[in-house]
Structure 1
Amino acid sequence: MRHILAASLAATMALAAPALAELDPGDAAADFTVSGFQAGEAVSFHLAEALATGPVVLFFFPAAFTSGCEAQAAAFAEAIDQFTAEGATVIGVTGGNTDRLAEFSTQHCASAFPVFAIEEGMARDYDARMMMRPGWTNRTSYVIDQNSTIAFSWSEMSPYEHVDQTLAAVRALNVE
């Protein structure tokens, strides 16, 4: 009986855990075009075009209007001037609550950067699918260099270190 209970618990934990696999530095970043919002206005984004002007910080968050995602978006908004000073473009992407992204872009992103809805293919390409909530994305942040290569990745469900980690990685690119 104890073995059955332990196996059941292990299976439940595996299904409940987010997928924290991410692409590694040196991996190719898949090109993509997405639609979303900045300051409540519809915008689109094409990775290859953005990389022509500098690195891109691509952060996946589970869903708009969830407490961790609100904190993460606010932290990126507060640091946007630092990213801009380093020549980086910051974008947020999610698969969850995408019908509310226009409102989220003004309230929690402070209109400082755009947020986009993704499709399953992009979540798969960037290893950002959340296993416990199909359709949602896990919390993974990438720095993509101008060669369309992953320079840095950080997967952690806590929203609090993503800004510091990606900003340090962008700064390291500028030192090289």
Structure 2
Amino acid sequence: MRKRFVAATLLTAGLGLSSAQAALPVGRSAPAFTLPASVAGHAFTFSLKDALRKGPVVVYFYPAAFTPGCTIEAHDFADAMDRFHALGATVIGVSMDDLATVTRFSISACRSRFAVAADTTGAIASRYDARKTSDQHAQRVSYVIAPDGRILSAHQDRAPDSHIETALATLEKWKAHSGH
């Protein structure tokens, strides 16, 4: 176990990946989760474990559907989905909104291009150190998780636009160094 952690840490250090301001460190195993989710208005159960079998996963937490910053971020992720798919990545947005709200958000703001999940209790946001302590919202934090479950990058920034480019840069570096 220790050897794998050291190897993952060295790999990510060698890739120049960062953990800018986010609480979960690069190289750590990402907490597994299963949540109700929606894509293109269709509800389903999202499992991180199942998604990682297909390739890397970008998990991004956002404060609340239909707010200006969160809508901008969702539009930007939707616009970049071809780039994420070319890198073999799955994208999942997570908020503390209910399933009905994320279902509507999946169509309008996400433009039916990627899934969003309902973490109504905030338990998953808490496990990812992405929950605001003062209210019932998540912080704007994004993680890129390798197929082996290790965190490749963690990015926290209130500005929504930096999350997409940070995730894409991480995935490009990972792909170049992993041979995928």
TM-score normalised according to structure 2 size: 0.83
Work out the number of aligned pairs and report it: 156
Give 1:120 shift: 2.4
> Per-residue displacement from partner, 1:113-138 (whole Å, max 9, x unpaired)?
010011322111100011232x2100
Assess if the C-alpha contact under 8 Å between 1:22 and 1:140 holds in 2: no
Distance 1:120 1:69 in 2: 17
The match for 1:121 is: 123
1:151 matches 2:152: yes
Residues in 2 aligned to 1:75 and 1:151: alpha-carbon distance in whole angstroms: 21
CA contact (8 A) 1:57 1:141 kept: yes
In 2, Cα distance between equivalents of 1:27 and 1:64: 29
**Could you say what secondary structure the match of 2:51 adopts?**
helix
Unaligned runs of 5+ in 1: 1-19
**Cα shift readout 1:99-125 (whole Å, capped 9, x = no counterpart):** 411111100000000100113221111
Alpha-carbon distance in structure 1 between the residues aligned to 2:157 and 2:143 = 12
Q: Is the 8 A contact 1:60 1:141 kept in 2?
A: yes
SS at match of 2:137: coil
C-alpha separation between the residues in 1 aligned to 2:101 and 2:175? 35
Q: How far apart are residue 151 of structure 1 and its match?
A: 0.5
User: Matched residue of 1:53: which SS?
Assistant: coil
Percent identity of the aligned residues? 39
Contact kept? 1:63, 1:97, Cα under 8 Å: no
The amino acid across from 1:123 in the alignment is: A
Q: Normalising to structure 1: TM-score of the pair?
A: 0.85
Shift of residue 24, structure 1, vs aligned partner: 1.1
Q: Structure 2: which 5+ runs fail to align?
A: 1-20
Per the alignment, residue 92 of structure 1 pairs with 93
Matched, 1:34 2:35: yes
Does 1:166 pair with 2:156? no
The answer (yes or no) to whether the contact 1:61–1:139 under 8 Å persists in 2 is yes
| Distance of 1:166 and 1:59 partners within structure 2 | 10
Taking the aligned partners of 1:132 and 1:98, their CA distance within structure 2 comes to: 22
| 1:66 and 2:67 are equivalent in the alignment | yes
Greater C-alpha radius of gyration: 1
CA RMSD, 1 decimal: 1.2
Could you report, residue by residue, the CA deviation over 1:16-49 in whole angstroms, capped at 9, with x for unpaired residues? xxxx642111011011101121111112111111
Alignment CA distance shift 1:34-1:97 (3 Å): closer
**Equivalent in the alignment of 2:8:** none
Deviates more, 1:65-74 or 1:118-127: 118-127
8 Å CA contact 1:74–1:110 kept in 2: the answer is yes
Whether contact under 8 Å (1:68, 1:158) holds in the other structure is yes
Rounded to whole Å, the distance in 2 between the matches of 1:37 and 1:106 is 9
